[in-house]
A and B are shown apart, each in its own frame.
Chain A
Amino acid sequence: MDLLYKGLVGILTIDTFFLIALGTIIGLVIGTIPGLTATMALALLVPFTFAMDALNGLVMLGAVYTAAMYGGAFTAILINTPGTPGAIATMLDGHPMAAKGEAERAIVGATVASVCGGVAGFVALLFLAPVLSLFALRFGPPEYFWVAVLGLALIAGLSTGSIFKGLLGGGIGMLLGTIGISPVGGEARFLFGTSQLQGGVELIVALIGLFAVPEYIRLTATAVRAVKPNENSKPQSLLSVTKEVIYKPINIIRSSIIGVIIGLIPGAGNNVAGLLAYSEAKRSSRTPEMFGKGSMEGLVASESSNNAAVPGSMVPLLTLGVPGSPPAAVLFGALMMHGLTPGTRLFTDSGVLTYGFIFSLGLAALALLPVGMIFGRLIFRAVTKVPLGFLIPTIAMMTILGAYSMRNSMTDVFIMVGVGIFGYVMRNFGVSPATIALGLILGPIAEQGFAQAMLIGRAYDYPFLVLLQSPLSITLAIIVAITLIGPFVMKVVRRKLNARKTILG
């Protein structure tokens, strides 16, 4: 308790507040631009923190990481392109809201939800880190496999029209994910005679292609912007939207818990968290038909979850010394360079610094509110006021820059263009690009989990049974079954109830 108090006092200085504000602004800018990642921002900023004392350096890096995750929501809402993979689910309802002239309401809603999720994750990290780290240790290859399958089961929910088209889209995404070096056998697959594909299809490059390019083509084809300025409505006040968001606390709590749990699992990432929370929100909603058409519930679920995943991903890093995501790996390096060794003894050997860092993540989540509101409204004005003649080529140039900067490779630019045109065509055929993206994100996780589980299973007579060996994997398998069969059962039950009502009345 003494360490906790000293940690809190340690960050209540003008310097810290300034660094949190600066880190939040940098993170927002990075998060907003598709292709620039939190990992890149952190890696570039680590050298600048050498000159600072350890706590200040870590505070700034924590603020950048938190804000970068939230910044992805802006482009998701305004130009139908997730700035970060975590904002895919945000886009599903955020952009339709913007198209209806409710962009400002969507931005304020996303900001409030992000703050709630960030604070919830911070509370979990502060008080439950040791317990949660034990939970993270229970995740082995079979559990990873089931988490990925659970995510893939969401495709049914994301499909508009034919479910089979959605599933095929997911299959195409998974197929794209197999290009390059195999994660288990180590062989090069589907190179089509060129060594340039050895690195595979980079997720963010594909996301830029799948979401930004079709939007750019649509804008050029129609010469009409999708985001309408809310000329006829009053500016959205923070209070009214906050009331609207907090009015459904269960949605925020459930999504934040999902975010923390998924954040705990090394490799799962906040994109999975956002999508799972979105799917759960849709299933529990009284108005599931509004999802995908501009539902505030969907937007809140995604944003609170992906921001809760940030402190969640810090749990294995700080308690076990296991970085669960690429940004956490950079933070791992930064901690080491500042003389801190992540692991079981971190909280006792360097408690003040560690708790100070954790508190700074909570403050960074709160800083999203003022900084995000100002920044979000500025971007909104820019997207609605800048002439189309400028906006369209700017989007095109940003897609090229974003794809190129991932690996400094023109191959990625051509992959982005190819995937983008393919995504535009498939969208016209009724296949949602989100299903392809989901397959691409989850395919490699499922493959690795499955292959490793099968290798472990060789010791048994029936290797497949290793997938259902632990209570956690059985629980996950049951959730997958409910997710897949549940909607059909509910449909039948509703039909029968309606039929009974008609007979009775």
Chain B
Amino acid sequence: MLVRVNTHFLVALTGFILFAVFWFAQDENWQRPSAAWPETILYGIAILSAILVVQGSILKSREKIFADGSKKRALIACVALIAWSLIIQGLGFVVGSVLVFMVMAFYVAAVEKKVSPKTAITMSPGKVVLWLVAIVCEVLVLYSVFSKVLLVPLPKGLFF
């Protein structure tokens, strides 16, 4: 289902929300050199948001939003990224990444088969094993490059 809304109002609303959040997070004890710049930006955001409300009222246009692909899959992508960030903190980079990568890889492969059956890959048991090995190898190679060569201490979590 396509959602059509006046995006001027939505952007203005975002502007007003940010204005409110940051305005009340200001500290009275800030000295003038530190306070002046954010204050100026906040006034600018409030004025631009007000202009967008006026522009939206005059134009009365309704644009499609989230029209690219499935909204459900977009949401799943967001949840997966958040879950990935949380899981590597708990289980460690390698174990967490292998798990989430596997789930995502097979989910996307299944979706691709629905969306474009001609170009999608047909999964045989042999191919599944090959994918699993490739996923583990990719994660291990990246882990080695980052932690051993580039000396980035990746999250260890419960395992590694």
Q: List 20 A-B contacts (CB under 8 A).
A: A162-B8, A174-B41, A184-B33, A185-B33, A190-B26, A217-B77, A223-B114, A388-B108, A389-B104, A389-B105, A393-B135, A399-B81, A405-B150, A408-B152, A417-B81, A417-B85, A424-B74, A428-B66, A451-B36, A451-B37
Residues 417-432 of A at the B interface (beta carbon under 8 Å): 417, 420-421, 424, 426, 428-431
Convert B95-137 into 0s and 1s, putting 1 for each residue whose CB lies closer than 8 angstroms to a CB of A. Answer: 0010011001110110110111000010000000001001100
Query: Given the interface contacts A223-B111, A401-B142, A443-B41, does A190 sit within 8 Å of B71 by beta carbon?
Result: no
Report if B159 contacts A (CB, 8 A). no
A165-173, A303-311, A318-326, A338-346: which one contacts chain B?
Answer: A165-173
Q: Which residues of A contact B35 (CB under 8 A)?
A: 185
Chain A residues packing against B (C-beta within 8 Å): 36, 40, 44, 162, 164-165, 167-168, 171-172, 174-175, 178, 182, 184-187, 189-190, 192, 213, 216-218, 220-224, 387-390, 392-394, 396-397, 399-401, 404-405, 408, 410, 413-414, 417, 420-421, 424, 426, 428-431, 443, 447, 450-451, 454-455
Which A-chain residue is minimally distant from B71 (CB atoms)? Answer: A221
Return the contact of A393 from the options B7, B25, B105, B152 (Cβ within 8 A).
B105
In the assembled complex, which residues on chain B have CB atoms less than 8 Å from the CB atom of A184?
33-34
Question: Count of B residues near A, CB < 8 Å?
Answer: 77
Chain A residues near B151: list those with CB within 8 A: 44
- Per-residue interface assignment for chain B, residues 42 to 71, with 1 indicating a CB less than 8 Å from any chain A CB and 0 otherwise: 101100110110010000000101111111
Interface centre among A164, A390, A454 (most CB of B within 10 A): A164
Q: Is B76 an interface residue (CB 8 A)?
A: yes
Contact A429 B70, beta carbon cutoff 8 Å = no
Instruction: Determine the chain B residues whose CB is within 8 A of the CB of A392 once the complex forms.
Output: 104-105, 108
* Nearest 4 CB-CB pairings of A with B: A221-B69, A185-B34, A222-B69, A389-B109
| CB pair B8 A165 closer than 8 Å | yes
* Chain B residues, Cβ within 8 Å of A390: 105, 131, 134-135, 138
Nearest CB in chain A to that of B50: its residue: A164
A429 and B11 CA atoms in complex are apart in Å by 7
Interface residue from A182, A220, A430 paired with B76 (Cβ < 8 Å): A220
Partner of B109, one of A182, A213, A388: A388
Residues of A contacting B74 with CB < 8 Å?
Answer: 217-218, 220-221, 424
Task: Determine whether the beta carbon of A417 is less than 8 Å from that of B101.
Answer: no
On chain A, the residues within 8 Å of B48 by CB distance are 164, 167-168, 171
Complex contact A217–B78 (CB within 8 A):
yes
**Among the listed B22, B68, B97, B115, which residue makes an inter-chain contact with A397, where contact means beta carbons less than 8 Å apart?**
B97
Q: How far is the CA of A223 from the CA of B112 in the complex (A)?
A: 6
B29: chain A residues within 8 A (beta carbon): 187
Task: Report B69 CB to chain A, min CB distance, Å.
Answer: 3
Closest partner residue, chain B, to A397 (CB atom): B97
Contact assessment for B131 and A172 in the assembled complex, using a CB-CB cutoff below 8 Å? no
The residue of chain A having its C-beta at the shortest distance from the C-beta of B34 within the complex is A185
**Residues on A with beta carbons closer than 8 Å to the beta carbon of B88:** 400
Tell me if B101 and A192 are in contact (CB < 8 A): no
Contact indicator B89/A410 (Cβ below 8 Å): yes
Residue numbers in B under 8 Å from A443 (CB-CB):
41
* Chain B min CB distance to A185 (Å): 3
B121's closest neighbor in chain A, by CB?
A: A387
Inside 8 A of A404's CB, which chain B residues have their CB? 152, 154-155
Residue of B nearest to A222 (CB): B69
B160 at the interface (CB under 8 A from A): no
> Which residue on chain A has the smallest CB distance to residue B63?
A430
On chain A, the residues within 8 Å of B134 by CB distance are 390
The reply to whether B41 and A187 form a contact with Cβ atoms under 8 Å apart is no
**Is A175 a contact of B41 with CB atoms below 8 Å?**
yes
> A387, B14: Cβ atoms under 8 Å?
no
Give the contacting residue for A187; candidates B27, B69, B101, B131; CB below 8 A.
Answer: B27
B134 to A: closest C-beta gap in Å: 7
